[in-house]
């Protein structure tokens, strides 16, 4: 079994390092952030992910997982080095910010004294692997002995462990049979479960990831565009989506209408794809992604409008209970969270917004200190003029509408995620509104 290093211990890297150690590999996690390394080494996962804390403890106890800030140690230790650092949107641009990927490779390469494979997992602009191949060969003492491969990662937050242990597929972008053989060795237990591996060149492997995310974003914006059509015609997007989903060529996944997509991946990935395609002279081919992004942003604005309509046209002084802050349930991630965007816009329009989320409160307080926060649904709902459901956590789906009606000043609710049974809420005396529903 090759010895693995995982460079970058954020969401993707920490999950990958922990799961690989559980699968039986010797793994060294590397990060420039000493505090993060210390927390992981002491058994603490620095973010919310169901199932991962237990696996971290198990991996540490096995003695197969360690963490370090030293790239020299990583170069000495590893046969296969996974690069798992972030590629956020560059401020003021649609482009991906490549500084962390470039730095990770530049920090590691001078310590590669023997044959090794450097494997990119981050989501990157097409052409990055070719560029990094040059960089590695220039900086590594082992020169041409060091190869680069691309192995995109498709994990979803909230399902990161399962997506890593039992992925739908593995994609191996390689430049030689040796690189393919090394990747197969680095994933032997996963391949042994029958997981299909698609072997491609480097550019195709980079493209698979952005093409997949662009497709998913397009599917969500498609149904949300239909919601807009429904709003203009009196049709019901909830029933429409259900009827479309029975066509198994379409399928119901990622066809859930509502407030739209957010998070650290889909929004910035489609923008970076647009930017890179334009640079490559094929911008027209993906110009529709600008529309996908715009449809998605309009859902946030429309949710604010629904709240305004429901309270009679003026938001000033209105007390809003906002249920949800995370960009989706089972996550504490608030990056580009539609929920906080809506809450913040309502507040700017004069409303007093109190937010509750089961997991994302600390992150929300940090990014949105202008909002106020409460410790429970009942606390934020007390004396509210309107309730807005923004993230479809299970505990919000299970709210008893009769009990909640007893807490609020006015029983009015906007269901931004189509998460509630409209008939049940109306029967309990609520004025219920949802995007794309009459």
Where do contacts with ligand UDX occur on this chain (CB under 6 A)? 154-157, 213, 216, 220, 254-256, 258, 260-263, 265-266, 327-328
In the complex, least distance from residue 63 CB atom to ligand UDX, rounded to whole angstroms: 30
DSSP secondary structure string, 4-52? EEEE--SHHHHHHHHHHHHTT--EEEE-S-HHHHHHHHTT--SS--TTH
Of the candidates 150, 92, 107, the one whose C-alpha atom is nearest the C-alpha of residue 126 is 150
* C-alpha to C-alpha distance for 58 and 172, rounded to whole angstroms: 28
Active site residue 230: no
Q: Does 112 appear as a known binding residue?
A: no
- Among 19, 84, 230, 265, which one carries the catalytic annotation? 265
Q: Does 24 appear as a known binding residue?
A: no
In the complex, least distance from residue 157 CB atom to ligand UDX, rounded to whole angstroms: 4
Reduce the DSSP state of residue 108 to 3 states and report it: helix
In the complex, least distance from residue 224 CB atom to ligand UDX, rounded to whole angstroms: 8
Nearer to ligand UDX, 78 or 338 (CB): 338
Task: Give kind and range of the element (H or E) at residue 162.
Answer: helix 160-165
Task: Tell the burial category of 196 from Cβ atoms under 10 Å away from its Cβ (0-12, 13-18, 19+).
Answer: exposed
Q: Does 251 appear as a known binding residue?
A: no
Nearer to ligand UDX, 318 or 340 (CB): 340
Q: What are the beta bridge partners of residue 373?
A: 355
Of the candidates 120, 115, 118, the one whose C-alpha atom is nearest the C-alpha of residue 136 is 118
In the complex, least distance from residue 247 CB atom to ligand UDX, rounded to whole angstroms: 16
Find the length of the chain: 438
Of the candidates 398, 325, 423, 414, the one whose C-alpha atom is nearest the C-alpha of residue 365 is 325
Q: Does 219 appear as a known binding residue?
A: no
Cα atoms in the 13 Å half-sphere on the side-chain side of 34: 1
What helix, strand, coil percent values describe the chain, rounded to 5?
Answer: 45, 15, 40
In the complex, least distance from residue 435 CB atom to ligand UDX, rounded to whole angstroms: 11
Q: Are 8 and 124 in contact (CB under 8 A)?
A: no
Reduce the DSSP state of residue 91 to 3 states and report it: coil
- Phi then psi for 167, rounded to 5 degrees? -70, 160
Q: Does 47 appear as a known binding residue?
A: no
Q: Does 261 appear as a known binding residue?
A: no
Determine how many CB atoms are found less than 10 A away from the CB of residue 134. Answer: 10
Nearer to ligand UDX, 148 or 340 (CB): 340
- Alpha helices (H) along 234-284: 237-245, 266-279
Q: Does 262 appear as a known binding residue?
A: yes
Nearer to ligand UDX, 98 or 255 (CB): 255
In the complex, least distance from residue 245 CB atom to ligand UDX, rounded to whole angstroms: 10
- Alpha helices (H) along 335-409: 338-348, 361-367, 377-381, 394-397, 401-405
CB-based contacts of 162: which residues, under 8 Å, 6+ apart? 51
Q: Does 156 appear as a known binding residue?
A: yes
Nearer to ligand UDX, 142 or 245 (CB): 245
In the complex, least distance from residue 9 CB atom to ligand UDX, rounded to whole angstroms: 17
Q: Does 209 appear as a known binding residue?
A: yes
Of the candidates 295, 270, 273, 296, the one whose C-alpha atom is nearest the C-alpha of residue 283 is 273
CB-based contacts of 129: which residues, under 8 Å, 6+ apart? 120, 148, 149, 150, 173, 202, 203, 205, 206
Q: Does 157 appear as a known binding residue?
A: yes
Nearer to ligand UDX, 147 or 157 (CB): 157
Nearer to ligand UDX, 90 or 156 (CB): 156
Nearer to ligand UDX, 133 or 296 (CB): 296
In the complex, least distance from residue 173 CB atom to ligand UDX, rounded to whole angstroms: 16
Residues contributing to the annotated binding site for substrate: 154-157, 209, 254-258, 262, 328
Binding-site residues: 31, 36, 87, 123, 154-157, 209, 254-258, 262, 268, 328, 335
Q: Which residues are catalytic?
A: 265
Residues of each annotated binding site for NAD(+)? 31, 36, 87, 123, 157, 268, 335
């Amino acid at each position: 079994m090759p010895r693995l290093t995982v460079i970058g211990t954020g969401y993707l890297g920490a999950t990958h390092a922990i799961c690989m150690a559980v699968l039986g590999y010797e793994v060294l996690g590397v990060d420039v952030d000493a505090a993060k390394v210390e927390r992981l080494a002491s058994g603490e996962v620095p973010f919310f992910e169901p199932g991962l804390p237990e696996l971290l403890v198990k991996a540490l106890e096995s003695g197969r997982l360690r963490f370090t800030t030293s790239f020299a140690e990583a170069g000495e230790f590893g046969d296969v080095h996974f690069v798992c650092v972030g590629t956020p949107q560059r401020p003021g641009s649609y482009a991906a910010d490549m500084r962390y990927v470039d730095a990770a490779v530049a920090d590691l390469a001078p310590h590669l004294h023997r044959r090794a494979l450097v494997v990119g997992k981050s989501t990157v602009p097409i052409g990055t692997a070719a560029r990094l191949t040059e960089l590695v060969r220039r900086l590594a003492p082992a020169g041409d002995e060091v190869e680069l491969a691309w192995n995109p990662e498709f994990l979803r937050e909230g399902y990161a462990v399962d997506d890593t242990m039992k992925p739908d597929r593995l994609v191996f972008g390689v430049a030689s049979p040796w690189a393919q053989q090394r990747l197969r060795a680095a994933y032997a237990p996963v391949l042994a479960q029958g997981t299909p591996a698609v072997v491609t060149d480097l550019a195709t492997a980079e493209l698979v990831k952005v093409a997949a995310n662009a497709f998913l974003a397009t599917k969500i914006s498609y149904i949300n565009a239909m919601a807009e059509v429904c709003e203009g015609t009196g049709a019901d997007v909830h029933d429409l989506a259900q009827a479309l989903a029975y066509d198994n060529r379409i399928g119901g996944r990622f066809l859930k209408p509502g407030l739209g997509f957010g998070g650290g991946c889909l929004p910035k990935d489609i923008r970076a794809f647009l930017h890179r395609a334009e640079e490559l002279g094929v911008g027209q081919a993906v110009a529709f992604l600008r529309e996908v992004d715009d449809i998605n942003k309009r859902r946030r604005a429309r949710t604010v409008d629904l709240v305004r309509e429901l309270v009679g046209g003026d938001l000033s002084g209105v007390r809003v209970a906002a249920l949800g802050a995370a960009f989706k349930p089972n996550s504490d991630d608030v990056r580009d969270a539609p929920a906080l965007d809506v809450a913040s816009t309502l507040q700017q329009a004069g409303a007093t917004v109190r937010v509750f989320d089961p997991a994302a409160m600390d992150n929300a307080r940090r990014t949105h200190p202008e909002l106020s926060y409460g410790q429970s649904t009942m606390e934020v709902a007390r004396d509210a003029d309107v309730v807005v459901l923004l993230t479809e956590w299970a505990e919000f789906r299970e709210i008893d509408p009769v009990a909640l009606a007893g807490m609020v000043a006015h029983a009015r609710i906007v269901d931004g995620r189509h998460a509630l049974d409209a008939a049940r809420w109306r029967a309990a005396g609520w004025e219920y509104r949802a995007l794309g529903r009459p």
